[in-house]
Structure 1
Amino acid sequence: MIAEELTIGEVARRAGVPISTLHFYEAKGLIRSRRSAGNQRRYPRGILRLIAIIRVGQKTGIPLAEIRARLDRLPQDRPLSSDDWAILSGEWRAALDERITLLTRLRDQLDGCIGCGCLSMRDCPLRNPGDSAAAEGPGARAFRTAGD
């Protein structure tokens, strides 16, 4: 017989994460548990798919706050489906494409100078002739993303 709910140890083992990670995810509002009569955490079986999605998001560099914001818009009364994943992955795709473009540009130009964000370097004729970036204020200029 398959149990309807899993203990925290079972979830940790099946998801391949330490128990402390589950506590952290719960504290951040990414996952939820209920308490048994003995005050032990119990998780629905669908939590394993949710944890897998959280981990994929983390591995691709998506901040936990953004992962949570996206998950909060999905139904909480059932396990996540492939349709839910299609929505999440579609929303994350543009951010990942932007990050890939930025990292590719950085990789391709890294040995040309110092990765050249040109923080007011006076003698960079390629990226910052005449120290023109100084007039734009602090911070790197060449590798800004759309959100900067």
Structure 2
Amino acid sequence: MPPNAAIPKELTIGELSARSGVPTSALRFYEREGLIDSRRTTGNQRRYHRATLRRIAFVRASQTVGIPLAKIREVLGFLPKGAAPTREFWIRASECWSQEINDRIAKMERMRDRFTACIGCGCLSFDECRLINPDDVLSQGGPGPRRLLDP
């Protein structure tokens, strides 16, 4: 874009995709999920306010640290419709999510430690491991890898 060109207030879905790096299919999904919104032209084409770029950046950054879309949508619900997240908004959201992120980190560390210990015995018999799971007692806790799933 030339330096003196006016910056458009609205973007097409293709322009939004190019600027955000998010495929158009994901943008449509975000819209269906209430994370972003658009207006429709008389020809039923989507037009997104430029502030949508910041909302998308917020969604992507939040997803990167493992925050589920449902929680992202809930937090974005505190913003006025179409408003971009501000620095202060991001700080408040990240403070709210710090404990959840710390819990995820702790769970991943437990999984790493337990998984390594289990593989470390060398038997590879998860059903009847005499060291970690004698007599398959872990099956009483339910299906799946109980030592990896349980806190």
Normalised by the shorter chain, which TM-score bucket?
Answer: 0.7 to 0.9
Aligned length: 143
Deviation at 1:123, TM superposition (A): 3.6
Over the aligned positions, Cα root-mean-square deviation in angstroms equals 2.7
What CA distance in whole angstroms lies between the structure 1 residues aligned with 2:143 and 2:114?
21
1:44-64 Cα shifts (integer Å, max 9, x gaps): 111001001111122222222
C-alpha distance in 2 between matches for 1:141 and 1:112: 14
Please state which structure has a larger fraction of its residues in helix. Answer: 2
Aligned CA distance change for structure 1 residues 8 and 123 (closer, same or farther; 3 Å): closer
CA drift of 1:33 comes to 0.2
Deviation at 1:145, TM superposition (A): 5.8
1:18 aligns with one of 16, 23, 42: 23
Percent of pairs with identical residues: 45
Task: Name structure 2 gaps, 5 residues minimum.
Answer: 1-5, 121-125
- 1:110 corresponds in structure 2 to 115
Structure 1: gaps spanning 5 or more residues: none
Return the TM-score normalized by structure 2.
Answer: 0.77
Q: Counterpart of 2:74 in structure 1: which amino acid?
A: A
Q: 2:59 aligns with which of 54, 57, 66?
A: 54
Kindly provide the amino acid, as one letter, of the partner of residue 98 in structure 1: D
The answer for the alignment partner of 1:29 in structure 2 is: 34
8 Å CA contact 1:98–1:145 kept in 2: the answer is: no
Which structure has the higher relative contact order (CA within 8 Å, separation 6+)?
A: 2
Instruction: Tell me: CA distance 1:95–1:34, structure 2 relative to 1, closer, same or farther (3 Å).
Output: same
C-alpha displacement of 1:2? 2.0
Select 1:73's aligned residue among 71, 75, 78.
Answer: 78
Normalization by structure 1: what TM-score? 0.79
Q: C-alpha separation between the residues in 2 aligned to 1:91 and 1:60?
A: 13
